[in-house]
Amino acid sequence: MSEWINCTLGDIAEVIGGGTPSKSKPEYYEGGTIPWITPKDLSGYPYRYIERGENNITELGLAKSSARMLPKGAVLFSSRAPIGYVAIAKNPLCTNQGFKSFICDEKKVNNLFLYYFLKSNLPMIENMANGSTFKEISGSVAKTIPISLPPLNIQEKIVSIIGSLDDKIELNLKMNETLGEMAMTLYKHWFVDFGPFQDGEFVESELGMIPKGWKAKKLGDLYDTSSGGTPSRRKTEYYQDGTINWLKTKELNDNFIFETEEKITELGLENSSAKVFPKNTVIIAMYGATVGKLGILSEPSSTNQACCAVIEKNQSFSYVLAYLYLLFNRTKIVGLANGGAQQNINQQIIRDLLIVVPTEKALNIIQPKLLVLFELIRTNEQENRYLINLRDYLLPRLLSGEIDVSQAEKQVEEVL
Protein backbone atom coordinates (compact mmCIF):
# COMPACT_ATOMS: atom_id res chain seq x y z
CA MET A 1 0.00 0.00 0.00
CA SER A 2 2.97 2.33 0.47
CA GLU A 3 3.26 2.79 -3.29
CA TRP A 4 -0.40 3.64 -3.72
CA ILE A 5 -1.27 7.30 -4.29
CA ASN A 6 -4.42 9.23 -3.46
CA CYS A 7 -5.57 11.51 -6.26
CA THR A 8 -8.70 12.51 -8.17
CA LEU A 9 -10.08 11.40 -11.52
CA GLY A 10 -9.21 14.82 -12.90
CA ASP A 11 -5.54 14.03 -12.17
CA ILE A 12 -5.53 10.86 -14.25
CA ALA A 13 -8.12 11.35 -17.01
CA GLU A 14 -9.70 13.98 -19.22
CA VAL A 15 -13.43 14.35 -18.51
CA ILE A 16 -15.63 14.72 -21.62
CA GLY A 17 -19.36 15.47 -21.78
CA GLY A 18 -21.76 14.58 -24.58
CA GLY A 19 -24.60 16.13 -26.52
CA THR A 20 -27.74 15.54 -28.56
CA PRO A 21 -28.11 16.80 -32.13
CA SER A 22 -31.44 18.52 -32.74
CA LYS A 23 -34.19 15.95 -33.22
CA SER A 24 -35.89 18.32 -35.67
CA LYS A 25 -33.01 17.96 -38.12
CA PRO A 26 -33.27 14.59 -39.89
CA GLU A 27 -29.97 15.23 -41.62
CA TYR A 28 -28.30 14.90 -38.21
CA TYR A 29 -29.44 11.29 -37.96
CA GLU A 30 -30.48 9.80 -41.31
CA GLY A 31 -27.70 7.73 -42.83
CA GLY A 32 -25.50 8.39 -39.82
CA THR A 33 -22.52 6.12 -39.23
CA ILE A 34 -21.19 7.52 -35.94
CA PRO A 35 -22.28 5.41 -32.95
CA TRP A 36 -24.16 7.61 -30.46
CA ILE A 37 -24.72 6.14 -27.00
CA THR A 38 -27.49 7.09 -24.58
CA PRO A 39 -28.03 5.76 -21.01
CA LYS A 40 -30.87 3.62 -22.38
CA ASP A 41 -28.32 1.68 -24.43
CA LEU A 42 -26.57 0.63 -21.20
CA SER A 43 -29.73 -0.26 -19.26
CA GLY A 44 -29.32 -3.96 -18.49
CA TYR A 45 -26.26 -4.11 -20.74
CA PRO A 46 -24.19 -7.02 -19.36
CA TYR A 47 -20.86 -6.52 -21.15
CA ARG A 48 -17.86 -4.32 -20.43
CA TYR A 49 -17.31 -3.06 -23.98
CA ILE A 50 -19.87 -1.33 -26.17
CA GLU A 51 -19.57 -0.88 -29.92
CA ARG A 52 -22.77 0.99 -30.75
CA GLY A 53 -26.18 1.84 -29.41
CA GLU A 54 -29.66 2.05 -30.87
CA ASN A 55 -28.88 5.19 -32.89
CA ASN A 56 -26.15 6.66 -35.05
CA ILE A 57 -25.60 10.30 -35.95
CA THR A 58 -24.03 11.96 -38.99
CA GLU A 59 -20.84 14.00 -39.21
CA LEU A 60 -23.08 17.08 -39.51
CA GLY A 61 -25.00 16.10 -36.38
CA LEU A 62 -21.74 15.73 -34.51
CA ALA A 63 -20.47 19.11 -35.73
CA LYS A 64 -23.72 20.90 -34.84
CA SER A 65 -24.01 19.59 -31.28
CA SER A 66 -21.96 19.43 -28.12
CA ALA A 67 -21.33 15.71 -28.68
CA ARG A 68 -17.63 14.85 -28.87
CA MET A 69 -15.91 11.93 -30.54
CA LEU A 70 -14.39 9.62 -27.94
CA PRO A 71 -11.49 7.32 -28.75
CA LYS A 72 -11.47 3.56 -28.42
CA GLY A 73 -10.89 2.73 -24.76
CA ALA A 74 -12.73 5.74 -23.32
CA VAL A 75 -14.65 4.89 -20.15
CA LEU A 76 -18.33 5.92 -20.38
CA PHE A 77 -20.16 6.83 -17.18
CA SER A 78 -23.82 7.82 -17.10
CA SER A 79 -23.93 10.91 -14.92
CA ARG A 80 -27.69 11.43 -14.65
CA ALA A 81 -31.03 9.67 -15.05
CA PRO A 82 -29.68 7.29 -13.89
CA ILE A 83 -26.20 7.68 -12.44
CA GLY A 84 -23.86 4.74 -12.70
CA TYR A 85 -24.04 2.86 -15.99
CA VAL A 86 -20.45 2.12 -17.02
CA ALA A 87 -18.93 0.76 -20.23
CA ILE A 88 -15.77 1.01 -22.31
CA ALA A 89 -15.80 2.22 -25.91
CA LYS A 90 -14.88 -0.69 -28.18
CA ASN A 91 -14.32 1.77 -31.04
CA PRO A 92 -14.57 5.54 -31.59
CA LEU A 93 -18.05 6.77 -30.66
CA CYS A 94 -19.90 9.63 -28.96
CA THR A 95 -22.58 9.98 -26.30
CA ASN A 96 -25.49 12.21 -25.37
CA GLN A 97 -25.32 14.66 -22.47
CA GLY A 98 -26.27 11.95 -19.99
CA PHE A 99 -22.61 10.92 -19.75
CA LYS A 100 -19.34 12.09 -18.36
CA SER A 101 -16.69 10.03 -20.13
CA PHE A 102 -13.06 9.59 -19.15
CA ILE A 103 -10.09 9.49 -21.52
CA CYS A 104 -7.39 7.90 -19.40
CA ASP A 105 -3.78 9.02 -19.14
CA GLU A 106 -2.27 5.63 -20.00
CA LYS A 107 0.89 6.45 -18.02
CA LYS A 108 -1.17 6.75 -14.84
CA VAL A 109 -4.23 4.54 -15.06
CA ASN A 110 -5.42 1.43 -16.87
CA ASN A 111 -8.85 2.10 -18.39
CA LEU A 112 -10.22 -1.24 -17.15
CA PHE A 113 -9.00 -0.38 -13.66
CA LEU A 114 -10.97 2.88 -13.85
CA TYR A 115 -14.01 0.96 -15.18
CA TYR A 116 -13.89 -1.39 -12.18
CA PHE A 117 -13.30 1.50 -9.79
CA LEU A 118 -16.44 3.29 -11.03
CA LYS A 119 -18.52 0.10 -10.82
CA SER A 120 -17.31 -0.64 -7.29
CA ASN A 121 -17.68 2.88 -5.86
CA LEU A 122 -21.09 3.91 -7.15
CA PRO A 123 -22.63 4.74 -3.73
CA MET A 124 -19.77 7.13 -2.95
CA ILE A 125 -20.06 8.77 -6.37
CA GLU A 126 -23.85 9.11 -6.13
CA ASN A 127 -23.43 10.97 -2.84
CA MET A 128 -21.42 13.60 -4.72
CA ALA A 129 -24.29 14.32 -7.14
CA ASN A 130 -26.16 17.61 -6.98
CA GLY A 131 -29.25 19.14 -8.55
CA SER A 132 -32.90 19.80 -7.64
CA THR A 133 -34.93 18.47 -10.60
CA PHE A 134 -32.67 15.41 -10.87
CA LYS A 135 -29.34 14.45 -9.38
CA GLU A 136 -26.32 14.75 -11.66
CA ILE A 137 -22.56 14.37 -11.55
CA SER A 138 -21.29 17.48 -13.31
CA GLY A 139 -17.99 17.60 -15.16
CA SER A 140 -16.40 19.66 -12.40
CA VAL A 141 -17.58 17.19 -9.75
CA ALA A 142 -16.42 14.20 -11.84
CA LYS A 143 -12.90 15.64 -11.78
CA THR A 144 -12.91 15.69 -7.98
CA ILE A 145 -13.93 12.05 -7.45
CA PRO A 146 -11.20 10.62 -5.20
CA ILE A 147 -9.36 7.44 -6.12
CA SER A 148 -6.63 5.41 -4.47
CA LEU A 149 -4.31 4.28 -7.24
CA PRO A 150 -1.70 1.50 -7.11
CA PRO A 151 1.25 1.38 -9.53
CA LEU A 152 0.37 0.43 -13.13
CA ASN A 153 1.79 -3.09 -12.80
CA ILE A 154 -0.50 -3.74 -9.82
CA GLN A 155 -3.45 -2.21 -11.70
CA GLU A 156 -2.78 -4.58 -14.58
CA LYS A 157 -2.67 -7.60 -12.27
CA ILE A 158 -5.97 -6.60 -10.66
CA VAL A 159 -7.54 -6.06 -14.09
CA SER A 160 -6.23 -9.45 -15.23
CA ILE A 161 -7.71 -11.26 -12.22
CA ILE A 162 -11.15 -9.63 -12.34
CA GLY A 163 -11.11 -9.56 -16.13
CA SER A 164 -10.63 -13.33 -16.32
CA LEU A 165 -13.86 -13.76 -14.33
CA ASP A 166 -15.69 -11.27 -16.55
CA ASP A 167 -14.34 -13.02 -19.66
CA LYS A 168 -15.96 -16.28 -18.52
CA ILE A 169 -19.17 -14.53 -17.47
CA GLU A 170 -19.46 -12.81 -20.85
CA LEU A 171 -18.65 -16.05 -22.70
CA ASN A 172 -21.50 -17.78 -20.85
CA LEU A 173 -23.83 -14.88 -21.69
CA LYS A 174 -22.97 -15.13 -25.39
CA MET A 175 -23.34 -18.91 -25.32
CA ASN A 176 -26.79 -18.50 -23.78
CA GLU A 177 -27.78 -15.97 -26.44
CA THR A 178 -26.82 -18.55 -29.08
CA LEU A 179 -28.58 -21.41 -27.26
CA GLY A 180 -31.71 -19.26 -26.89
CA GLU A 181 -31.67 -18.41 -30.59
CA MET A 182 -31.24 -22.11 -31.44
CA ALA A 183 -34.19 -23.05 -29.23
CA MET A 184 -36.42 -20.38 -30.78
CA THR A 185 -35.39 -21.38 -34.30
CA LEU A 186 -36.29 -25.00 -33.55
CA TYR A 187 -39.58 -23.98 -31.97
CA LYS A 188 -40.59 -21.84 -34.96
CA HIS A 189 -39.55 -24.58 -37.41
CA TRP A 190 -41.75 -27.15 -35.67
CA PHE A 191 -44.62 -25.22 -34.10
CA VAL A 192 -45.04 -22.21 -36.39
CA ASP A 193 -43.77 -23.15 -39.86
CA PHE A 194 -44.46 -26.91 -39.43
CA GLY A 195 -41.27 -27.47 -41.45
CA PRO A 196 -40.89 -31.25 -40.90
CA PHE A 197 -44.54 -31.82 -41.92
CA GLN A 198 -44.85 -29.81 -45.11
CA ASP A 199 -45.15 -32.96 -47.22
CA GLY A 200 -48.01 -34.27 -45.11
CA GLU A 201 -51.71 -33.52 -44.89
CA PHE A 202 -52.95 -30.33 -43.19
CA VAL A 203 -56.37 -29.67 -41.63
CA GLU A 204 -58.26 -26.50 -40.65
CA SER A 205 -58.21 -25.43 -36.99
CA GLU A 206 -58.86 -22.36 -34.84
CA LEU A 207 -55.21 -21.52 -35.44
CA GLY A 208 -55.45 -21.96 -39.20
CA MET A 209 -54.04 -24.91 -41.13
CA ILE A 210 -52.11 -27.37 -38.94
CA PRO A 211 -50.68 -30.85 -39.59
CA LYS A 212 -53.22 -33.67 -39.46
CA GLY A 213 -53.36 -35.22 -36.00
CA TRP A 214 -52.34 -31.95 -34.31
CA LYS A 215 -54.84 -29.98 -32.22
CA ALA A 216 -55.49 -26.42 -31.11
CA LYS A 217 -56.05 -26.16 -27.37
CA LYS A 218 -56.21 -23.43 -24.78
CA LEU A 219 -53.09 -22.93 -22.72
CA GLY A 220 -55.24 -23.52 -19.63
CA ASP A 221 -55.99 -27.05 -20.88
CA LEU A 222 -52.29 -27.87 -20.84
CA TYR A 223 -51.02 -25.95 -17.81
CA ASP A 224 -52.33 -24.85 -14.45
CA THR A 225 -52.16 -21.13 -13.75
CA SER A 226 -52.13 -19.11 -10.56
CA SER A 227 -51.00 -15.74 -9.20
CA GLY A 228 -49.29 -14.63 -6.03
CA GLY A 229 -49.71 -12.05 -3.33
CA THR A 230 -47.92 -9.51 -1.14
CA PRO A 231 -47.71 -9.97 2.63
CA SER A 232 -48.52 -6.79 4.55
CA ARG A 233 -45.55 -4.41 4.55
CA ARG A 234 -46.67 -3.24 8.00
CA LYS A 235 -45.75 -6.62 9.46
CA THR A 236 -41.95 -6.85 9.74
CA GLU A 237 -42.29 -10.47 10.85
CA TYR A 238 -43.54 -11.32 7.35
CA TYR A 239 -40.19 -10.32 5.82
CA GLN A 240 -37.47 -10.19 8.45
CA ASP A 241 -35.20 -13.27 8.28
CA GLY A 242 -37.42 -14.68 5.53
CA THR A 243 -36.21 -17.80 3.72
CA ILE A 244 -38.88 -18.17 1.01
CA ASN A 245 -38.10 -16.65 -2.39
CA TRP A 246 -40.61 -13.87 -3.20
CA LEU A 247 -40.46 -12.70 -6.82
CA LYS A 248 -41.47 -9.29 -8.18
CA THR A 249 -42.04 -8.57 -11.87
CA LYS A 250 -39.09 -6.18 -12.12
CA GLU A 251 -36.85 -9.23 -11.60
CA LEU A 252 -38.21 -10.91 -14.73
CA ASN A 253 -35.83 -10.62 -17.66
CA ASP A 254 -36.57 -13.73 -19.74
CA ASN A 255 -34.26 -15.63 -17.41
CA PHE A 256 -34.00 -18.45 -14.90
CA ILE A 257 -34.78 -17.30 -11.36
CA PHE A 258 -32.46 -18.76 -8.71
CA GLU A 259 -32.81 -16.24 -5.90
CA THR A 260 -35.00 -13.20 -5.38
CA GLU A 261 -34.23 -9.71 -4.09
CA GLU A 262 -36.63 -10.19 -1.17
CA LYS A 263 -37.68 -13.21 0.84
CA ILE A 264 -40.72 -13.77 3.04
CA THR A 265 -41.30 -15.85 6.14
CA GLU A 266 -43.62 -18.83 6.63
CA LEU A 267 -45.85 -16.46 8.61
CA GLY A 268 -45.96 -14.02 5.70
CA LEU A 269 -46.85 -16.83 3.34
CA GLU A 270 -49.65 -18.09 5.57
CA ASN A 271 -51.16 -14.64 6.04
CA SER A 272 -51.28 -13.56 2.39
CA SER A 273 -52.41 -14.87 -0.97
CA ALA A 274 -48.80 -15.69 -1.86
CA LYS A 275 -48.15 -19.32 -2.77
CA VAL A 276 -45.00 -21.35 -3.35
CA PHE A 277 -44.72 -22.50 -6.95
CA PRO A 278 -42.53 -25.46 -7.97
CA LYS A 279 -39.27 -25.46 -9.88
CA ASN A 280 -39.74 -25.00 -13.67
CA THR A 281 -42.86 -22.87 -13.25
CA VAL A 282 -42.94 -20.22 -16.00
CA ILE A 283 -43.73 -16.73 -14.71
CA ILE A 284 -45.23 -13.97 -16.88
CA ALA A 285 -45.69 -10.36 -15.74
CA MET A 286 -49.29 -9.18 -16.01
CA TYR A 287 -49.13 -5.47 -15.11
CA GLY A 288 -47.56 -2.21 -16.15
CA ALA A 289 -44.23 -1.59 -17.81
CA THR A 290 -43.04 -5.19 -17.44
CA VAL A 291 -46.15 -6.85 -18.91
CA GLY A 292 -45.15 -9.89 -20.95
CA LYS A 293 -41.71 -10.30 -19.34
CA LEU A 294 -40.87 -13.91 -18.50
CA GLY A 295 -38.89 -16.01 -16.07
CA ILE A 296 -38.46 -19.69 -15.17
CA LEU A 297 -38.19 -20.73 -11.54
CA SER A 298 -35.05 -22.72 -10.77
CA GLU A 299 -36.04 -22.97 -7.12
CA PRO A 300 -39.49 -23.19 -5.49
CA SER A 301 -40.60 -19.58 -5.09
CA SER A 302 -43.54 -17.36 -4.25
CA THR A 303 -44.46 -14.24 -6.24
CA ASN A 304 -46.42 -11.03 -5.89
CA GLN A 305 -49.87 -10.62 -7.43
CA ALA A 306 -48.51 -9.04 -10.64
CA CYS A 307 -47.08 -12.42 -11.67
CA CYS A 308 -48.98 -15.22 -13.36
CA ALA A 309 -47.52 -18.67 -12.78
CA VAL A 310 -47.83 -21.20 -15.62
CA ILE A 311 -47.32 -24.61 -14.04
CA GLU A 312 -46.66 -27.97 -15.67
CA LYS A 313 -49.57 -30.39 -15.23
CA ASN A 314 -47.28 -33.22 -16.27
CA GLN A 315 -44.00 -33.53 -18.14
CA SER A 316 -45.65 -34.49 -21.41
CA PHE A 317 -46.03 -30.77 -22.14
CA SER A 318 -43.06 -29.19 -20.39
CA TYR A 319 -42.10 -25.72 -19.20
CA VAL A 320 -39.95 -25.10 -22.30
CA LEU A 321 -42.96 -25.20 -24.62
CA ALA A 322 -44.93 -22.78 -22.43
CA TYR A 323 -41.95 -20.42 -22.22
CA LEU A 324 -41.19 -20.46 -25.95
CA TYR A 325 -44.87 -20.04 -26.83
CA LEU A 326 -45.22 -17.01 -24.54
CA LEU A 327 -41.94 -15.52 -25.76
CA PHE A 328 -42.78 -15.98 -29.44
CA ASN A 329 -46.27 -14.53 -28.94
CA ARG A 330 -45.29 -11.71 -26.57
CA THR A 331 -46.29 -8.88 -28.93
CA LYS A 332 -49.70 -10.46 -29.45
CA ILE A 333 -50.16 -11.03 -25.69
CA VAL A 334 -49.16 -7.46 -24.80
CA GLY A 335 -51.65 -6.30 -27.46
CA LEU A 336 -54.41 -7.98 -25.44
CA ALA A 337 -53.63 -5.81 -22.41
CA ASN A 338 -56.27 -3.38 -21.28
CA GLY A 339 -56.35 -0.44 -18.91
CA GLY A 340 -55.61 3.26 -18.99
CA ALA A 341 -52.39 4.51 -17.47
CA GLN A 342 -51.28 0.96 -16.66
CA GLN A 343 -51.68 -1.80 -19.23
CA ASN A 344 -52.73 -5.13 -17.72
CA ILE A 345 -53.41 -8.69 -18.74
CA ASN A 346 -54.96 -11.29 -16.46
CA GLN A 347 -54.98 -15.00 -15.82
CA GLN A 348 -58.04 -15.60 -17.97
CA ILE A 349 -56.42 -13.96 -20.98
CA ILE A 350 -53.40 -16.23 -20.49
CA ARG A 351 -55.51 -19.36 -19.96
CA ASP A 352 -57.54 -18.65 -23.12
CA LEU A 353 -54.49 -18.34 -25.39
CA LEU A 354 -54.63 -20.92 -28.17
CA ILE A 355 -51.62 -23.19 -28.49
CA VAL A 356 -50.92 -25.90 -31.05
CA VAL A 357 -50.50 -29.42 -29.68
CA PRO A 358 -48.51 -31.89 -31.80
CA THR A 359 -48.93 -35.62 -31.95
CA GLU A 360 -47.24 -37.62 -29.21
CA LYS A 361 -44.70 -38.93 -31.73
CA ALA A 362 -43.71 -35.42 -32.85
CA LEU A 363 -43.64 -34.18 -29.25
CA ASN A 364 -41.28 -36.99 -28.24
CA ILE A 365 -38.85 -35.93 -30.97
CA ILE A 366 -38.71 -32.17 -30.49
CA GLN A 367 -39.29 -31.65 -26.76
CA PRO A 368 -36.11 -33.47 -25.57
CA LYS A 369 -34.01 -31.34 -27.96
CA LEU A 370 -35.46 -28.14 -26.51
CA LEU A 371 -35.02 -29.37 -22.93
CA VAL A 372 -31.31 -30.06 -23.53
CA LEU A 373 -30.80 -26.49 -24.79
CA PHE A 374 -32.64 -24.98 -21.83
CA GLU A 375 -30.76 -27.07 -19.28
CA LEU A 376 -27.47 -25.83 -20.80
CA ILE A 377 -28.74 -22.27 -20.45
CA ARG A 378 -29.68 -22.96 -16.82
CA THR A 379 -26.22 -24.42 -16.08
CA ASN A 380 -24.47 -21.39 -17.60
CA GLU A 381 -26.68 -18.97 -15.65
CA GLN A 382 -25.97 -20.87 -12.43
CA GLU A 383 -22.22 -20.74 -13.06
CA ASN A 384 -22.45 -17.01 -13.75
CA ARG A 385 -24.17 -16.43 -10.42
CA TYR A 386 -21.19 -18.02 -8.66
CA LEU A 387 -18.63 -16.13 -10.75
CA ILE A 388 -20.41 -12.79 -10.24
CA ASN A 389 -20.50 -13.34 -6.47
CA LEU A 390 -16.78 -14.15 -6.45
CA ARG A 391 -15.98 -11.12 -8.61
CA ASP A 392 -18.06 -8.82 -6.43
CA TYR A 393 -16.35 -10.19 -3.32
CA LEU A 394 -12.82 -9.79 -4.67
CA LEU A 395 -13.16 -6.48 -6.53
CA PRO A 396 -13.55 -4.00 -3.62
CA ARG A 397 -10.88 -5.84 -1.63
CA LEU A 398 -8.41 -5.67 -4.51
CA LEU A 399 -9.21 -2.02 -5.20
CA SER A 400 -8.57 -1.13 -1.56
CA GLY A 401 -5.47 -3.29 -1.17
CA GLU A 402 -7.21 -5.35 1.53
CA ILE A 403 -6.13 -8.60 -0.12
CA ASP A 404 -2.98 -9.36 -2.05
CA VAL A 405 -3.20 -10.02 -5.79
CA SER A 406 -1.44 -13.39 -5.43
CA GLN A 407 -4.11 -14.52 -2.96
CA ALA A 408 -6.89 -13.47 -5.36
CA GLU A 409 -5.14 -15.15 -8.29
CA LYS A 410 -5.24 -18.49 -6.46
CA GLN A 411 -8.95 -18.15 -5.72
CA VAL A 412 -9.74 -17.38 -9.35
CA GLU A 413 -7.51 -20.16 -10.71
CA GLU A 414 -9.47 -22.67 -8.63
CA VAL A 415 -12.76 -21.84 -10.38
CA LEU A 416 -11.65 -21.22 -13.99
How high is the pLDDT of residue 1? 61
pLDDT at 314: 81
Residue 258 phi/psi, 5-degree rounding, is -100, -45
- Does 58 score more than 90 pLDDT? yes
CB 266 within 8 A of CB 235: no
Residues 6+ apart with CB under 8 A from 164: 412, 416
Integer distance in angstroms from the first to the last C-alpha of the chain? Answer: 28
Which residues fall within 8 angstroms of residue 389, CB to CB, at 6 or more apart? none
Tens digit of each residue's pLDDT (9 = 90 or more) over 108-152 = 999 999 999 999 999 999 999 998 788 999 999 999 999 999 999
254/29 Cα distance (integer angstroms): 32
The fold adopted by the segment(s) 215-227+245-262+272-357 is Adenine-n6-DNA-methyltransferase TaqI; Chain A, domain 2 (3.90.220)
pLDDT of residue 340: 58
pLDDT tens per residue, range 260-291: 999 999 999 999 999 999 999 999 999 988 99
Q: Across residues 349-363, what is the average pLDDT? A: 96
d(CA 384, CA 395): 16
Shared fold status for 5-149 and 215-227+245-262+272-357: yes
- Determine the Cα–Cα distance for residues 203 and 211; give it in Å rounded to an integer: 6
- What confidence score (pLDDT) does residue 158 get? 97
pLDDT at residue 341 tops 70:
no
Contact 17, 97 (CB under 8 A): yes
| Domain spans of the chain, in order of start | 5-149, 215-227+245-262+272-357
The interaxial angle of helices 360-400 and 152-187, nearest 10 deg, is: 170
CATH topology of domain 5-149: Adenine-n6-DNA-methyltransferase TaqI; Chain A, domain 2 (3.90.220)
Contact 64, 94 (CB under 8 A): no
Q: Say how far apart CA 290 and CA 23 lie, in whole Å.
A: 28
- Position 2 pLDDT exceeds 90: no
192 and 321 Cβ atoms separated by less than 8 Å: no
315 pLDDT band, cuts 50/70/90, is confident
Residue 29: pLDDT above 90?
A: yes
What is the model's pTM?
Answer: 0.92
In the predicted model, what is the mean pLDDT of the chain? 96
